[in-house]
Structure formats: structure tokens, C-alpha cells
Chains A and B, each alone.
Chain A
Amino acid sequence: MTRTPATRTWLIAFATIAIFMLPGGSQAISLPLGLSGTQYLLSLAESPAAPAPGETVLFTLSSTAIDLPSATISWYLDGTAEASGVGVTTFATQSGAAGSTHTVSVVAEGSDGTAAETKATLRPAAVSLQWEADSYVPPFYRGRALPAAGTSVTVHADAQLVGSGGAALPASSIRYQWSVNGTPRADLSGNGRDTITIAGPMPHGALVVAVTASADDGTYQAAAQTRIAAVTPVLDLYAADPLLGIRYGDALSNGSTLSAGKATIALAPYYMAAASPDSSALSYRWEVNGDPVLADPGTPSRLTLALSGGAAGAAAVSLALSDSLAAFQSASGAWQLMVSANAASTPFGSAAKANPF
């Protein structure tokens, strides 16, 4: 596209007048070549728009006034020339630490003599999304509580927005805009609203939670998103010892041997919505060697296996578990266990009903 000198003059004059009419416009003019007012001829895009500290940022120049492929383009970082050449419309650099400020300037001189320049300020900021579910995991469990059906998820956004003075902006000075699965959630958004609690994902589904954290004055902005996938509850059986407690460090598996003629096993229903394995919301259906067995109603997650006759034997234990509070939540498991006979057996069967165990 070519323009007559008169047109160019009018454009520059108009742009100059316009920029002085903008609030704060005079502060924005500090360009390497002093081509004041010409930044309206250029457009400088930054990707990502809200860079994190240390992240590579790509700047792309475009213009409707200058033929950039034939223009000589020079890039500056904090006033120092970094790159130059004909048609060099992109420039990549790495952002600094949180709170740092760097200026990227670019000057484009068209083949017809038209020159313009513009700049952008690089203000890296970051937001870390942290979450956990309110599902059940046993005491002292090292891992994360994950969301199965019927659970809730708490998501916290820790925005690392550092003001120009070097101090971190408090959460109350930051506006958090949340979206869940692409839907903006105005009801959860607002100044200082850095934590949300929402219903967990549907079975086999996932939540994509995104947040944009912006400083009150709009100078700093950071965005992040996280995917929270639904899990299937995990049922693990453990030996429960009167002296050692429940042996959470070593789950029972097929072929596991319980070292007594009368042994108690305990179930841990990982990731279910119930607060406790013995919650009244959970319905247990135990079977031992094919026979239904009733556990103690007070502790339905535990079952005592007692050998009849003092001999060692195998026990096929199965369990179907459902949660009345979570419509889609149920789980089942089956274990082939061995019970050794090194402890005195009793004439009694399992906890509530006579059985080979």
C-alpha cells in the first residue's frame, strides 16, 4: 500500500494530536528514534499476552500503513539494539523475574521512506493454580486426594504479581476472573477471590478451571488453567492389627497372607465422597467364599476372618460398596487371601455369620 506525502503528513499530524489527547499519552513516548506519534501506524502483538517469569515471549509487528515485508525493521530491548533486517517482523526474548519491567521497541522504515516506531512493556507475572478434592484418603496418606463422583474440589490461585516498587500485590488488590469448562463464572470472580470450591467432575469427565489475575490498575496480568480429571474410587484392603493399627503401608493383594488364624482386615475407600470408611452413607456388601457376611454395623469397613479348626486356608473376599450421597459412586473389589494358622483359632466364624472363615 502506498500513500502520498500529503496523506502521510496528515496521518502523522492527526496521530500526534490524538496521542496528546489521551490521558498519560505523553508518558508513553520514549522511543529510540524519537518518531513521536507514529506508533499508531504499527501494531505490536505479544505472545503469550500474559507472560510468566522466565518465559519466552514472541513479539509480532504488523501494519496497515507500512509495507513491512520490504521495510527495514529494528528491534530494541531496553534501548539496546537486538535485531534488525528487512521484513524482520518478529522478535523473541525471555521475560525477566516477576515484577521486572522491560521495554521492547521496534522501528520500521518503509521503502518509501515512511518511518514509524512503537513499543511494548514486558511485565512478567504468574499465577499458580493449586487444587485438591475433599474426597476420602486415610490418615497419614502421603498422596493427593483426587475427585471421584460426588466430591468437591477447592482451587486456589496464587498470583505472583509484583508491583513496580518490588512488593508483591496482595490478593485483595488483584481481580480474579474464573471460568469452568470455558464458562465464565462471575459468581465466583472478583477482587481478592483467589479460592473457589466447586462440584467435582462428573464420572469419566474433567473440569478445566481457568483464572485470569489482574492488578487493579491493569498493569499486570497473569493467566493459568488446570485440568482436573475424575477418578474411579480405589478400594484397598489392609491388615488391621491391635498393636500396629491398620497397615496402610502394605495393601493386601491376591495371595497376601494374614499372619494369624484370626485376622481383621480394613477397607480404605480412596477418593470416595464419604468422610470416613464407616460413614453411614456407605453401604457395604461383603462376601467371603461366596457367602454374604455382615460386618459390625459400627465399623462396616472392617471384617474379621477366623479360621475354623485352626488350619490355614484361603479366603475369597469380595466387596460391593455404594455411597447413598453420591448417585454415581460405587465400587467393588475382590481379593484372594491366605490366612495362616499361627494363632489360636476360635470356634466362631467370621464376624457375624458362620463361614469357613
Chain B
Amino acid sequence: MPRLPRIDLARFYRYAMPVTVAAIILILIALGIWFLYLHEKQSVTDAVSAGRGLGTDVSSAFPGGSAYQNVVSAVSSVFGGGTSATSTPAGATKAAPQLWEVATAPAASITFAKDGTSTVARFLDAASGNIFDADPATSVIARRTKTLMPRIAQGAWYGEEGAVLRYEDNAGIETFSGSINAATTTGSLSATEAQALAANGPGDLEGAMLPRGILDLVAASSSIFYIAPYNGEYAGTIAKPDGSDAKRIWTSPLAEWRAQLAGNRILLVQAASEGVTGSAYELGTDGSSSLVLANLPGLAARENATTHAILYSTVGGSGAITLSVRASDGKVQTLPFATFADKCAWDPAAPSVVYCAVPHAIPQGSVLPDAWYRGEVHFDDAIWRFDTATGSVSQAYDPHAANRSLDILDPMVSPDGTYLAFRDAASGTGWVLRLTAK
């Protein structure tokens, strides 16, 4: 029978006990660290989940979704908050103020939608990807979609109900194209439709992902044009809004083209930088192209969809900003404004008229427009009207009148020439200005 080992208690207490106690202490410390680590990760995960809309209430007839609240509860002082699909505060039929901040939350894009006699400003909430209609005639704001897509950086619009949402993901730039589910309403909202929307709730944005890595995109009524890498170059492609029937119509060895629609043409302008020459092409839907502006420093441009006159700004190496119009016959007219074409919009109702946001002062010592594009400097603009046919100049509005300082970006005039919609470059918020006194 084997002999059991004899336990030397004195030896155990001398050596094994301290080791055991130390091990237990170490394990407890490790558990503590693990707990703290998990706690921190949970916080981060919660934030990311919130960003993706997880945990956000799905809207119903009276949606209480936090993303929606973030927008509508921040709707300008006209409302002071609302949680229904249509924000119908007391006095909802009262016209919005001449300068109207449709929401204090950033908008990725703002445009106009028209239904009969009603013109609404349609905007894309950057945080949720929800689409809202803001009616300046009644002050009603209606949420049109409830599909959550956070971190929307850029948007485009097509047809009556179509929208393109663009955002940055870990894999690069993603683009979603969809249309508002017609289960709710179509077109913009009449008072009756607004009531129906309040009863039925907003719809979904239903559509498809477009190819990854689209660098720039514009949308028309029933088609889109986008620029994306292709075979070591960059191709301009026309497709249906859902991405089908894609047809490459143009290629370039360069990537940095900014596209815009001008009627049945597409204007492609090289990305701007102070003193760096840029060129612009007019592109037909058949792929034909013509060089319309060449080797101009700091070039940015906006083409008139009706007359095809091109408003363009240049910034020389000395920082001097010049705004000009090139008529379709090639004649050039210089405007009395020092501003960027990015701050101008043609009036569809009066094709010779252009509205420009003109800074009260240009910051000295900044490389422009680069520093503005990087968000390092912001301007304090007034809005001016210029008639290229008569040469008449007048100030349309100065936000100082409403005690506001706005850095106006990508303005657009409503089809009837009544309103100007734009975003503030600093805050990202969407605004509507009534151009004609009512």
C-alpha cells in the first residue's frame, strides 16, 4: 500500500498560503478590469447602435422615434416641438416667416417638391435619413419616411418621390436610392393629405443600394448620372434611379469632377482650389462632350438649365474672387459680386436672373475656397439678385434682418421663383427664404 505523503503544514503556511492569496487578489483585480472594460464597450456599442437606429422607436400614427424627435422637436421656434407625423402646432396655417429654418438639426440636402399650387421644401435629415416636407405657406412639417439611415452626408432627388442618400461607411462611400412608399401619400401635402399622413404615419423609403464608391452623383426625373472608378479610370454612367440599365457614357483619367444637371445636359467641373486651374465640360446624354471653360483658376460653376449660360467663379493666386457669366454664345459678363458659384442659383421662373449669397466680408489670410470647403472659415452672407439681361442688381434679403448670420451653401430657387432653399454651411441646417413679399 502506497504511503500517503505527509502534509507539512508549517511549510504550507510559509509558502503556499501567500501564493494562493496573491493569486486570488490578482484574479479579483482582473475581474474588476474586465468589468470596467465591458462597461466601457457597452457604452460605445450603445452609441453605435443608436447611430444605426437600433433601439429607436418605430413611428406609428404618432411617432415617438427619437430620430424624429431630434428633428421635429428642434423645428424652428414656430413649433417648439412635435411628435406626430405632421407637425401641426397651433396656428399651423400661418405662413412661415420670410426666413425660415425648417429644422435646427442638420439636413443632408434640401430641395423643392410641387403638387398643384403647393410648393414645399423637402429635406433629408442627416441624422436619421428621414425625409420631411416643410410647407412655408402653412408652416406644416410632415415626416414622409421613417426608414432610418444615420450619418447621411449628401442627398439627391428624382421624380416626385425619389431620393438618393449617400454616406461614408468603413468600406467607403455608400449610396442608396429609393422612393417614398406610396402607402402614405404622393406628392407634397395638402391639408387633407397632411391629416391622412397623421392618421397613417410616414412611409418607408424603399429602394436599392447603388455600386459602392460613387464619387459624385446627380439625379433627374427618371435617371441618375454618377462618376465611379472603372478599369483604372473614372467613368460617368447614366442609369435608372435603381441603378439598372447602367450605361457608361464618359471616362476620364481624373477622379475629381463635380457634376450638376442643366436641363438635358450635365456640367462637369473640376474640383476647385485657389489659384489652381480648372476646366469644365458639358456632357450630353449621348456621351458627347465639349470643353466649355478651360484653365481658369479656382473654377466653380453653375449652369442655367434653360439658357445654358454658365455662371462661374474664379479665384486667382492673389485670392481675388471674380464671378462671371458665360452666355451660350460665348460672351462673358462679369458680375459685381465677389462670391463663389457654389453660393448662387439660377431662377427657373426667370432664366436671366441669378441669386447669389455674397459675403459681407471675405476673411483675409485664408486660402479660398479651400479653407471654406474644409469648414475652417465661414461667411456671413446677404442674398443678391442679378439680372444678366438688364444688368440690374438688387439685394434680395439680408439675414441680419432676422438677426441671423448664415453661410449659404447650394441654394436653389423653387420652380415658381417664390422661394430660395439652402443649407447653412456651418450648422448644416436647412432654410427657406421667401423671395417675394407676401
User: CB distance A243 to B50 under 8 Å?
Assistant: yes
- Comparing A26-34, A35-43, A101-109, A134-142, the segment that makes contact with chain B is A134-142
Provide the bound-state CA to CA distance between A251 and B425, in Å: 11
Give 1 or 0 for each of A195-234: 1 = CB within 8 Å of chain B CB. Answer: 1000000000000000000000000000010100000001
B123 to chain A, nearest CB (A): 14
B124 to chain A, nearest CB (A): 12
Leading 7 A-B pairs by shortest Cβ distance: A245-B151, A242-B51, A144-B273, A243-B127, A143-B373, A251-B375, A195-B253
A6 to chain B, nearest CB (A): 55
Give 1 or 0 for each of B314-339: 1 = CB within 8 Å of chain A CB. Answer: 00000000000000000000000000
Provide the bound-state CA to CA distance between A248 and B166, in Å: 14
User: CB distance B168 to A144 under 8 Å?
Assistant: no
Provide the main secondary structure of the chain A interface: strand
- Comparing A12-20, A110-118, A124-132, A284-292, the segment that makes contact with chain B is A124-132
User: CB distance A143 to B252 under 8 Å?
Assistant: no
> Which residues of the other chain, B, contact A132 by a CB distance below 8 angstroms?
254-256, 270-271
Provide the bound-state CA to CA distance between A129 and B370, in Å: 21
A49-83 with Cβ < 8 A to chain B: none
User: CB distance A144 to B272 under 8 Å?
Assistant: yes
> Which residues of the other chain, B, contact A236 by a CB distance below 8 angstroms?
374-376
A348: CB under 8 A from chain B? Answer: yes
Among B256, B271, B291, contact of A128 (Cβ-Cβ < 8 Å): B291
B244: CB under 8 A from chain A? Answer: no
B154-196 with Cβ < 8 A to chain A: 154, 166-168, 172-173
Query: With A139-B172, A242-B50 in contact, is A129–B277 under 8 Å at CB?
Result: yes
A204 to chain B, nearest CB (A): 16
Give 1 or 0 for each of A135-168: 1 = CB within 8 Å of chain B CB. Answer: 0000111111110000000101010100000000
Interface centre among B48, B150, B258, B374 (most CB of A within 10 A): B374
User: CB distance B253 to A154 under 8 Å?
Assistant: yes
B428: CB under 8 A from chain A? Answer: yes
Provide the bound-state CA to CA distance between A266 and B428, in Å: 18
A-B contacts, 7 of them at CB < 8 A, read A144-B271, A158-B279, A245-B168, A248-B375, A250-B378, A250-B425, A250-B428
Interface centre among A146, A154, A243 (most CB of B within 10 A): A243
> Which residues of the other chain, A, contact B272 by a CB distance below 8 angstroms?
142-144
Among B150, B168, B373, contact of A243 (Cβ-Cβ < 8 Å): B150
Query: With A142-B342, A244-B151 in contact, is A251–B374 under 8 Å at CB?
Result: yes
A324: CB under 8 A from chain B? Answer: no
Among A131, A140, A348, contact of B168 (Cβ-Cβ < 8 Å): A140
> Which residues of the other chain, B, contact A144 by a CB distance below 8 angstroms?
256, 270-273, 276, 278, 370
A246: CB under 8 A from chain B? Answer: yes
User: CB distance A128 to B294 under 8 Å?
Assistant: yes
Query: With A128-B295, A140-B166 in contact, is A244–B374 under 8 Å at CB?
Result: no
Give 1 or 0 for each of B129-144: 1 = CB within 8 Å of chain A CB. Answer: 0000000000000000
A93: CB under 8 A from chain B? Answer: no
Interface size class on chain A is: 35 or more
> Which residues of the other chain, A, contact B258 by a CB distance below 8 angstroms?
142
Known: A247-B375, A250-B425. 18 other contacts (CB 8 A): A139-B168, A140-B153, A140-B154, A142-B258, A142-B272, A143-B271, A143-B370, A144-B271, A154-B254, A238-B375, A242-B150, A243-B70, A247-B106, A249-B375, A249-B426, A250-B428, A346-B40, A348-B36
Provide the bound-state CA to CA distance between A244 and B126, in Å: 6
A2: CB under 8 A from chain B? Answer: no
A236 to chain B, nearest CB (A): 5
> Which residues of the other chain, A, contact B254 by a CB distance below 8 angstroms?
130-132, 154, 156
Provide the bound-state CA to CA distance between A100 and B270, in Å: 28
> Which residues of the other chain, A, contact B253 by a CB distance below 8 angstroms?
154, 156, 195
User: CB distance A145 to B256 under 8 Å?
Assistant: yes
Among A146, A224, A238, A268, contact of B276 (Cβ-Cβ < 8 Å): A146
Query: With A144-B256, A244-B151 in contact, is A226–B376 under 8 Å at CB?
Result: no
> Which residues of the other chain, B, contact A154 by a CB distance below 8 angstroms?
253-254
User: CB distance A243 to B369 under 8 Å?
Assistant: no
B47: CB under 8 A from chain A? Answer: yes
> Which residues of the other chain, A, contact B342 by a CB distance below 8 angstroms?
142
B427: CB under 8 A from chain A? Answer: yes
Provide the bound-state CA to CA distance between A131 and B279, in Å: 10
Query: With A154-B254, A346-B43 in contact, is A143–B273 under 8 Å at CB?
Result: yes
User: CB distance B291 to A158 under 8 Å?
Assistant: yes
A270: CB under 8 A from chain B? Answer: yes
Provide the bound-state CA to CA distance between A257 and B272, in Å: 30
Residue of B nearest to A270 (CB): B374
User: CB distance A242 to B47 under 8 Å?
Assistant: yes
Query: With A139-B173, A142-B271 in contact, is A348–B374 under 8 Å at CB?
Result: no
B246-287 with Cβ < 8 A to chain A: 252-256, 258, 270-273, 276-279
User: CB distance B279 to A243 under 8 Å?
Assistant: no
Provide the bound-state CA to CA distance between A53 and B274, in Å: 25
Interface centre among A129, A242, A247 (most CB of B within 10 A): A242
